Amino acid sequence: MTNSATTPIPGGDTAQLRTALPVRGRRIPEHYWGYILLTPAIVLVLGLILYPVSYSFYLSFFSKHAFFPEETFIGFENYIRFLTDPEDFWRSVKLGAIYAFSTVILQVIVGVAASLLLNETFIGRTLVRGIVLFPYMVPTIVVVILMRWILSDSYGILNYLLQVIGLINRPIVWLGAENIMLVLILISTWTYFPFVLIGVLARLQTIDPELYAAAKVDGAGMLRRFFHVTLPQIRNVLFVLILLRFLFMFTKFDIVWLLTGGSGLGYYVRTLPIFTYMKAFGEMQVGAGAALSVIMFLILVVFALIYSKVFQRGEEE
Amino acid sequence: MSMRRVLSTVSMAALIGAGMAVAAALPANAQEVKVVNIWHTESNSKTKAAIAEIMADFEKLNPGVKLRQEGVSWGSLSAKLTAALAAGAPPDMSHGQTYIERSLSAKGLLRPLNDVYASIGEDDILDVVKKLDYNTEDGNYYGIAHAIGTDVLIYRKDFYEEAGVSEDVPKTWADWIETLKKLTVDLDGDGLPDRYGLDLAGPGFFINEEVYMWVGSNGGTLFGPNGRPTFDTKPVHEMLAFYKELNDCCLPPGWLGHGYRDNFVALATGKVASILGWGRGAYTFEKLAPDLVEAGAFGVMPGKPIGPSGTTFLTQLDSEPWMIFKDAKYPEIAAEFLKFFYQKDNYRKYIQTVPVHFFPITKSLREDAAYQATPDFETWGFWTDAQQNIIANHEPKPLMMTEWDDLSLPFTKEIADSGILIDMVVAVVSGQSTPEEAAARAQRRAEDLITQLGYKTW
């Protein structure tokens, strides 16, 4: 290595620098560098995504106990068993869909509304923008412990406050069979709406203010400006956000399990990820658990395809 | 960049890396530290401190050994153990339940603890403890209880007095329901109860617990002699009907969402008149209601009511065993530590951290003057007496075992963690199914599961 390799030539540009440098030995062709630099990423993708996913597909055709290496090939038996099981499997798909659709709809409504507010100019806006991200940054376990404490029918502060202001005269059983799905949806909305907020707010900041000015001149009120200027502008961002949020919420495990997992209440919110976990790690049937993961994956692929198609058709129209 | 430069850079990096690896390895060779991982379910800070102290003393005697304790909640222990075992990275030693120990030892995953028993002295260990952990098929012990205790009915004496009901153990479930109805009271005159007769814990672990205790108290079993589930039987139907009756008359509407600790809070704060629970709860009362403790407002029943088809009651023997994993990194060191742990002074130190909950498993410690002088017994002696009476006279059994023969079943962990019993109860108390329908479905699911696991023998 020579000093000339690191010393810039005064007044010379990069191309001059390259040609000016002495070249010793064989050069690696430029395009190989692309492959070399991509290798770590490819290895990571293969090792951390492709291999586990392929192994799941493979396992789904076997009967296998979680503790033992022995496995018995059973073909499509796991799939047939679940797809013909309305009591547990289809019930969990239904509950998962209710949970995912409800939380996504609410997250989008709250997220868009909050981003519109935070796009306005007011004193302390930067601070509020920071604070509003708080629910998304809090660890899930903290959210759950906090919510259990707030919502308890024995000592929860929410019931206490509602009683103090006279709205109720006896505690509401928030964490009971009747309300648990609603509570889970509301907690999940509160936790994850900042994800929508960030995406939409970023897009809102790039909309040309002249569009609003022109709409005002044309006599458009606040609502019409939202539907005819803002919404078309954030449409593409919303498409991606809704797709991502649905994928995340349909596969959501942590908050559901931590709030109700393994308890009597869990029966009322046993979504597909929870059902999968119970098969794989409760009953120790990892083959069956893998089959459920594959089915969940396929459901999401089908959803993503239909959703994209519908969105594209809307674009064309 | 030339090939030569690439090669020289890579060689240099490799050399540096190798040098660092050698440097890192040198001190390890000179003084290799063996880290032994121990999981336990004792969340009490006093207990954790005592364990840390015993560990530190062991480390002093065994240079190069580092013991690391990790507290794991009951709710997540089974799942965490499963994940660790499936990944081939179990802790060296862990607490478990007897049914977990039995399931794991049937799968050949545990190290026999015969040497630990011998070191303590087999004759010094209570018979019930030996019975729990002795595998009659191969003559090995695969676990050893860290302490024992029993589940009891805990109640508020002041509420019983106020309602004019007897503090004697109700003889039958029907008597119990009558008592609980009187204890479920409307305090503000709005026609709805403000205090309930009983609270139960909603987590699945506790629903499993109630199911097997009440089936056992109703003359039933969960499994037949050939291991076939016996869920769709009269004692189970009656147990489910009893659950439903309790739910409708005397339990708070949100009980399925109540945690175990919430039950103690509810009793201490007067939201309910009685609960089922363990000795550790005494310390929750001391913290939340010291005045009531001083006034002697808490009582414990020395027995439990019996179901319509039963002749004797069944209650749970808390007998969490230590288990050592055969394929862990340092099972032999873990076994040495266990021998050290049960040495009288160390064991007393541990037991005295929660003496109302922890009954020693050795006769010698029970007779030990320093143990008997434990200050907590002055306040809570009635609680330990009640447990002593049940252990001595009513043969409590570990979780999921209605019969001693159930100890040999290899699938109780899978049944307990499958949610089958929990779904059965929820289906009945929510009114979705009759006891017969729910039991039949649970029977079908359990049989399917046992078949799929390859344990079907009928």
Which of B234-238, B290-294, B393-397 is least confident?
Answer: B393-397
Residue among B107, B256, B418 minimizing CB distance to A177: B256
Percent of chain A with pLDDT over 70: 92
CA distance A285 to chain B (A): 8
Q: What pLDDT band is residue B124 in, cutting at 50, 70 and 90?
A: very high
Compute the count of residue pairs across chains A and B with CB atoms less than 8 Å apart: 130
Tracing tokens 């503790």 back to the chain, one arrives at: A67
Any residues with CB less than 8 A from the CB of B233 and at least 6 apart, and which? B220, B439
Chain A residues with CB within 8 Å of chain B CB: 1, 23-28, 63, 65-68, 87, 148, 152-155, 169-170, 173-177, 180, 261-267, 278, 281-286, 288
Any residues with CB less than 8 A from the CB of B320 and at least 6 apart, and which? B41, B95, B96, B97, B98, B145, B146, B147
pLDDT per residue as tens digits for the range B359-377: 999 999 999 999 999 999 9
**Domain positions in chain B:** 34-148+317-393, 152-315+419-453
Closest residue by Cα to residue A288 from A272, A270, A302, A303: A272
Percent of chain B with pLDDT over 70: 93
pLDDT per residue as tens digits for the range B32-50: 799 999 999 988 889 999 9
CA distance A154 to chain B (A): 7
CATH of domain B152-315+419-453: 3.40.190.10
pLDDT (mean) for B115-125: 96
Residue A8, domain member (yes or no):
no
Q: How far apart are the first and last CA of chain A?
A: 62
Beta bridge partners of B92: none
pLDDT per residue as tens digits for the range B217-244: 999 999 999 999 999 999 999 999 999 9
For B:426-455, CB contacts with A below 8 A are 426-427, 429-430, 441, 449, 452-454
**HSE value, Cβ hemisphere, 13 Å, CA-based, for A181:** 17
Residue A11 confidence (pLDDT) above 50: no
Average predicted confidence (pLDDT) for chain B: 91
Note the pLDDT of residue B241.
98
For domain B34-148+317-393, is the CATH number 2.60.40.10?
no
> What ipTM is given for this predicted complex?
0.81
Beta bridge partners of B39: B70, B94
Asked if B194 and B186 touch (Cβ cutoff 8 Å), the reply is: yes
Residue A65, domain member (yes or no):
no
Contact between chains at A67 and B86 (C-beta distance less than 8 A): yes
**Token representation of residue B176:** 């119990």
CA distance B266 to chain A (A): 7
Note the pLDDT of residue B83.
84
Residue A16, domain member (yes or no):
no
Residues of chain A in contact with residue B429, where contact means CB-CB under 8 angstroms, are 264
Task: Centre a 10 Å sphere on the Cβ of residue B287 and count the other Cβ atoms it contains.
Answer: 12
Q: A154, A268, A275: best mutation site toward chain B, by most B Cβ within 10 Å?
A: A154
Residue among B79, B190, B269 minimizing CB distance to A169: B190
A278 vs B79: CA distance, rounded Å: 10
Note the pLDDT of residue A3.
43
Contact between chains at A176 and B253 (C-beta distance less than 8 A): yes
Contact between chains at B414 and A26 (C-beta distance less than 8 A): no
For B:176-235, CB contacts with A below 8 A are 190, 192, 194, 202-205, 207
For residue A192, the domain's CATH number is 1.10.3720.10
Note the pLDDT of residue A213.
93
Task: Centre a 10 Å sphere on the Cβ of residue A236 and count the other Cβ atoms it contains.
Answer: 12
Note the pLDDT of residue B17.
55
Residue B178's Cβ-count burial label (10 Å; 0-12, 13-18, 19+) is middle
Closest residue by Cα to residue B251 from B283, B226, B276: B276
**Token representation of residue A258:** 């931590």
Higher pLDDT, A311 or B309: B309
pLDDT (mean) for A282-305: 94
Contact between chains at B417 and A282 (C-beta distance less than 8 A): yes
Q: A168, A265, A271, A292: best mutation site toward chain B, by most B Cβ within 10 Å?
A: A265
Residues of chain A in contact with residue B2, where contact means CB-CB under 8 angstroms, are 23-28
Q: Are B34-148+317-393 and B152-315+419-453 in the same CATH fold?
A: yes
Residue A307, domain member (yes or no):
yes
Residues of chain A in contact with residue B454, where contact means CB-CB under 8 angstroms, are 65
Residue among B1, B104, B192 minimizing CB distance to A28: B1
pLDDT per residue as tens digits for the range A69-80: 788 999 999 999
Q: Is B2 helix (H, G, I), strand (E, B) or coil?
A: strand
Any residues with CB less than 8 A from the CB of B344 and at least 6 apart, and which? B362, B364, B365, B368
Q: Return the residue of A nearest to B430 by Cα.
A: A177
Residue A156 confidence (pLDDT) above 60: yes
Residue A15 confidence (pLDDT) above 80: no
Residues of chain B in contact with residue A282, where contact means CB-CB under 8 angstroms, are 79, 414, 417-419
Asked if B376 and B355 touch (Cβ cutoff 8 Å), the reply is: yes
Which of A16-25, A243-252, B144-153 is least confident?
Answer: A16-25
Note the pLDDT of residue A5.
43
Q: How many domains does chain A have?
A: 1
Q: Return the residue of B nearest to A85 by Cα.
A: B445
Residue A235 confidence (pLDDT) above 90: yes
Q: B110, B258, B288: best mutation site toward chain A, by most A Cβ within 10 Å?
A: B258
Query: Does residue B417 belong to the interface with chain A, where contact is any CB pair within 8 Å?
Result: yes
Q: What pLDDT band is residue B97 in, cutting at 50, 70 and 90?
A: confident
Query: Does residue B2 belong to the interface with chain A, where contact is any CB pair within 8 Å?
Result: yes
Residue range(s) defining the domain that contains residue A222: 77-316
